Amino acid sequence: MDYGKKILNLLLDKYERSSQRINEEAVKRSISIKVKETFPLYYDDSTPRYKEEINEAALGLEQQELVQLIWQKHEEGNILEKISLNALNLDKAYAFLGRVSRADKEGACLKLLDKYLPDLEPWARQFVQEISTRITEGKGIAAYVDLDDLAAFEKVLKVMAALPEIKEEIPKRVFSLQLLQNSKALEQVENTVIRVLKEYHPALAAWEEREDDKKSILAEFGIIDSLQYVYFHGPLKVRASGQEADLNLFQPAVGLPVEFIKNMEITYLGAKVVLSVENLTSFYQLAKALPPQVFMIYLGGYHNRYRRELFFKLQDYCVRMQRQVCFAHWGDIDYGGFSILADLRHKTGLPIKALGMDKGALQQHLAMASPFTKSYGKKLANLLEKPAFNEFYPTIRFMLEKGVRLEQEAIDIGFILERLKELC
């Protein structure tokens, strides 16, 4: 081991964590390491070579005026007690190690932040400004920035700047290749990008924790794993490229790419209920039962801004044609199901009713319910403190009492058909 470099690196690490590096007026305490704590084998008489090698390395650093040595009383030149950094020769110490100082790394980071600041939206500028402030105040930024890998952080900034330019869904690897010149580069910084989005982007202010956070958050901004289709069932006619298509001819359902939906025009809706369904199995089961006067949409969990396009088109059609249509949603009776509906209501602004997600539905299918963990129960109980979930309070309390949740696949389709009649 090169004990000289080891000693000097430890001292500089300690210096960079100290207030002296940030504030020139800070109390100038000695930056030191205790030899006994740092090198326990130094005091092992059975292996004197450790002491000899460390002494030799420390004396070499002292000769170059990089450190000051404190010897044990009456053991000068023999047993070291402490080694202190010579704060007057910091530049020389960094040069000796070939090491870039933290101050220089932070300076490079500040230049990078200034470079991207003009191209960012307000939420992203807030993030950049807070990182800049933390640097100047000597606070930690490791949660977002690795100062030893600013190239990775620049990729994060590039993604943040590019998000507003996404006009239609784009596969993640294509986006990564076009923006970062490598199809897998986004994956390398994905966690940081998502953390910044969750903490700073206004569209995610009410975002609930979920299992597929990465996929859902990126999809909200149009970045998807693969091209997406939306599946429908029911009486709907649309026009695209000058031609009209009757989607009700496709049984039990039809899937259309999001890009098509974005450009299509709704010309006919022969339904009294527009029902979104959380899970694919339940969607197909209900579609095969051919519920009358119901137009169904497979939601696939949390929607994104491109899937919301369909809800807005349906709403516009109803307003234009002065049609009274009931919007409803059927999902799991659990934390995720409630959160998905709350998110859908919030993002679309529609008065969407819950279907088959109440206490009575759970009681009737209690034998099919699944138990949940203590930590899940705490998360579920937190919903009782949120007004957006007030209609589910009785159901949530019953779930907590019984310690169960219910997936919608466990609910009898006949039960849902009866509930649909009440909506119609």
Inter-axis angle of helices 150-162 and 102-116, nearest 10: 20
pTM: 0.65
Class of domain 229-423: alpha beta
* Helix, coil or strand: residue 236: strand
Q: Which amino acid is at 381?
A: A
* Distance in angstroms (rounded) separating the CA atoms of residues 219 and 307: 10
* Helix, coil or strand: residue 275: strand
Q: How far is CA 145 from the centre of its chain?
A: 16
Name the H helices within 201-334: 213-220, 258-263, 280-288, 305-321
Name the H helices within 66-149: 90-97, 102-116, 122-136
Instruction: Supply 144's token pair.
Output: 């977002």
* Distance in angstroms (rounded) separating the CA atoms of residues 40 and 234: 76
Instruction: Supply 98's token pair.
Output: 């070939």
Size (the chain), residues: 424
Q: Which amino acid is at 18?
A: S
pLDDT by residue for the chain (424 residues), tens only, comes to 898 999 998 998 888 888 666 655 444 678 999 998 899 888 877 778 888 899 999 899 999 999 999 999 888 889 899 999 998 888 899 899 889 988 899 999 999 999 999 989 999 999 999 999 999 988 889 999 999 999 999 999 999 999 999 988 888 999 999 999 999 999 999 999 999 999 999 888 666 555 556 777 888 888 988 777 889 999 999 999 889 999 999 999 999 888 888 889 999 999 999 999 999 999 999 999 988 899 999 987 666 676 778 889 999 999 999 999 999 999 999 999 999 899 899 888 999 999 999 999 999 999 999 999 999 999 999 999 999 999 999 999 999 999 999 999 999 999 999 999 988 6
pLDDT for position 23? 58
Instruction: Measure CA of the first residue to CA of the last residue in the chain; give whole Å.
Output: 80
* Distance in angstroms (rounded) separating the CA atoms of residues 299 and 308: 10
* Helix, coil or strand: residue 333: strand
pLDDT for position 383? 95
Q: How many other CB atoms are found less than 10 A from the CB of residue 321? A: 12
Residue 318 has φ and ψ, to the nearest 5°, of -65, -40
Q: Is-contact 251 224, C-beta < 8 A?
A: no
Instruction: Supply 214's token pair.
Output: 């990465």
Instruction: Supply 316's token pair.
Output: 């516009």
Name the H helices within 232-352: 258-263, 280-288, 305-321, 335-348
* Distance in angstroms (rounded) separating the CA atoms of residues 244 and 133: 57
Inter-axis angle of helices 102-116 and 122-136, nearest 10: 160
* Distance in angstroms (rounded) separating the CA atoms of residues 375 and 365: 24
Distance (Å) of CA 148 to CA 101, 127, 139, 141: 11, 20, 16, 12
Nearest Cα to Cα of residue 275 among 259, 249, 260, 253: 253
Instruction: Supply 385's token pair.
Output: 């403190």
> pLDDT of 93-149, one tens digit each?
989 988 998 889 999 999 999 999 998 999 999 999 999 999 998 888 999 999 999
Q: Is-contact 350 375, C-beta < 8 A?
A: no
* Helix, coil or strand: residue 34: strand
* Distance in angstroms (rounded) separating the CA atoms of residues 370 and 121: 44
* Helix, coil or strand: residue 71: strand
Instruction: Supply 399's token pair.
Output: 């779930």
Q: How many other CB atoms are found less than 10 A from the CB of residue 392? A: 23
* Distance in angstroms (rounded) separating the CA atoms of residues 165 and 289: 42
* Distance in angstroms (rounded) separating the CA atoms of residues 323 and 325: 6
